Amino acid sequence: MAIGGDFLTTQEVSGLLGVEARQVRGLAEAGAITRVARGIFDRTSVERYRAERGSGRTRTWAEHTAWGAVALLSGAAPLGLGDVQTSRLRAALRDITDPTDLALRLRDRASVTTWSGHRSVIDRVRAELVVPGRQWLGLVEDATIVDGYIHADRIADVVRRCRLVEDTTGLITLRSTSMDIDFIKSLAALNRTLAAVDAATSLDPRERGVGVQVLLGRLELFRENGRG
């Protein structure tokens, strides 16, 4: 039976994600997707999971490796990776031709959650985050939407002080990571690579398309520079 609208049945989720029904239940129990009733799931949480996780066949990189890849594509030195790791990562990046595949490999750079809050706290929350600007990608900024990185040690405090409520349809996206936040800030300010990585898994088709195209260009540039 199809539910439609904002909700999906177990069977529909199973078809969208390419997993068995028992795995759908496991994803809900783990908090990866939101179950609103027995056998009924929040459509937005499922679509977000699919955008960020793909088919599940792509092997993801560990957090520090993922950030190392973002740094290399940005033209910066990785933080916390040895020479051997960096060399292997360079080789792996040169072999990647599909920007969507790259975006999926980078997904564990941060844990993504969405929240709702009173409009009066939007600017306060934004000030707490590293926000890769949409203007890098030629996209218009929306003052009602917040999307940025925060260190994992600080997220609980920000949620408490700003009285945020976790909400799959919320306009506040917090990307929690244990990576040095100043390093992330430097990458966000360097060029449009990090903004493109975020956009490449957006639920908005236009934004996703822009992100994918920018990542494709960064991959091609990386390969070209590697030949020299």
Q: What is the pTM of this model?
A: 0.80
pLDDT reading at 36 higher than 90? no
- Write down the pLDDT at residue 131: 95
More confident call, 48 vs 110: 110
pLDDT reading at 182 higher than 80? yes
pLDDT reading at 37 higher than 50? yes
Q: What are 55-89's pLDDT values in tens digits?
A: 555 578 999 999 999 999 999 999 999 999 999 99
pLDDT band for position 30 (cuts 50, 70, 90): confident
**Which tokens belong to 22?**
């028992």
- Write down the pLDDT at residue 47: 80
What's the Cα-to-Cα distance from 226 to each of 13, 63, 78, 90, rounded to whole Å? 42, 24, 16, 9
SS (H, E, C) the chain: CCCECCEEEHHHHHHHHCCCHHHHHHHHHCCCCCEEECCEEEHHHHHHHHHHHCCCCCCCCCHHHHHHHHHHHHCCCCCCCCHHHHHHHHHHHHHCCCHHHHHHHCHHHCEEEEEECCHHHHHHHHHCCECCCHHHHCCCCCCCCEEEEEECCCHHHHHHHHCCEECCCCCEEEEEECCCHHHHHHHHHHCCHHHHHHHCCCCCHHHHHHHHHHHHHHHHHHHHHHCC
Q: What are 12-25's pLDDT values in tens digits?
A: 888 888 778 888 88
Name the least confident of 92-96, 126-130, 140-144.
Answer: 140-144
